[in-house]
Structure 1
Amino acid sequence: MWFGACIGLALPDSWGHWPSMTMTFMAGKTQVILKGDQSLTKAECSLKTISKTWEREDWGLLLEVENVKIDEDNEEESEREEEGEKSNLPMIPNLLKRFRGLFEMPKELPPRRAVDNRILTVDEQKPINVRPYKYGYIQKEEIEKLVSEMLQAGIIRSSRSSYSSPVLLVKKRDGGWRFCVNYRKLNQVTISDKFPIPIIEELLDELHGAEVFSKLDLRLGYHQIRMKEDIEKTEFCTYEGH
């Protein structure tokens, strides 16, 4: 929420130097200096200007800051309140502990489930084969590292398939790299699965009143579903080969 004006600020035993936007006061035996950010300061305004602003139903805010002494009993009570807030859903910590493995990096292939991924192509006799991209030195090192990690985890394996798609790296928000495979050529000859798109209104009705939500993509979510025997179509290649 934005406020049109902020009027008044008082601290006990404080000294303010408003041109430099500094305020000094003592906290016990320690001197504390508050300094404002001048880049956030707007032009000064008179009381007349403020009155005109309020005529347009703007907001005004009066702030008062003072020292409050908290004794040990109050601190213990505050801690109990915080613990009470954390325990509103007592089943959550137990669930997280029970399924701790779901939040760790996968070290083996996921189990077979009711539905496995499959790829049906228009012409099964004509494999798709695209040469690898040209990578810089840093990307080569990262590709080698990620491929090695996935090999050790059992997510991928060496292959001699006739299919081949190139690899590319996408920058993550945290500065890391996301390992991606460009399957555009394969997608062009893939027979798409037909499935009705859910209606948003119906989904919202079903979620009404819910307190706990879950999703698939927890830890490398798309590595939690196995492939059928046409797994050879998912082969990718780097500058080092298949």
Structure 2
Amino acid sequence: MIKRVFDLAASSAGLIVFSPVSLIFAALIKLEDGGPVFYRGVRVGRNGRPFRIFKFRTMVRDAETVGGSSTSGDDSRITRVGRFLRRYKLDELPQLLNVLWGDMSMVGPRPQVPWAVAGYSETERELLKLRPGITDYASLRFHNEGEILRGTPDPDATYMEKIHPEKMRLALRYAREQSFLLDCKILVWTLLTICGAKPFAGESADRSDIPRSQTS
């Protein structure tokens, strides 16, 4: 109950505070290529219910038809405006709407695409009892995910082999440890991480065991 009240208060306040800058971002996205302002992908929410997640569009139109679902830092599909938004995680701002509507929480395991959820183990399916969130342990550890995948010959395969298992482990850790105090800590850690600090004990993931393409 406390978590939901906090989500409603935080998302409402966030939408009001960030509405002026969000309008600027929306205009820049529209001016760059005339495409839609928002990306609305299908994700799996609490109790397995699908919903549309909102993000500012950071890639060219119809990006899914010209590449995989994982995005590296050097992906040519990322727009100029999108590169800036991704750097500071500003593309996630519209998810405050998802929080307000009850699809998501401020803090919780990141929502996954249906095909990824279909492959969940019995243990991982426990995550579906929670509302997915805008940020969590995995968001902190892999805040530089695009850079981790930069130069990999197959970003999708690398993501599933090297990153996805660790994200699941961290999501399950959050499920075990969740509390209102922890949510507050993660939100503060998220803001500090966006500002360039590394407050989370897990630190940033590195690229040491990620295969590189021969031309990188």
Whichever structure has more strand as a proportion of its residues is 1
- What range is the shorter-chain TM-score in? under 0.3
How does the TM-score come out when normalised to structure 1?
0.18
Greater helix proportion: 2
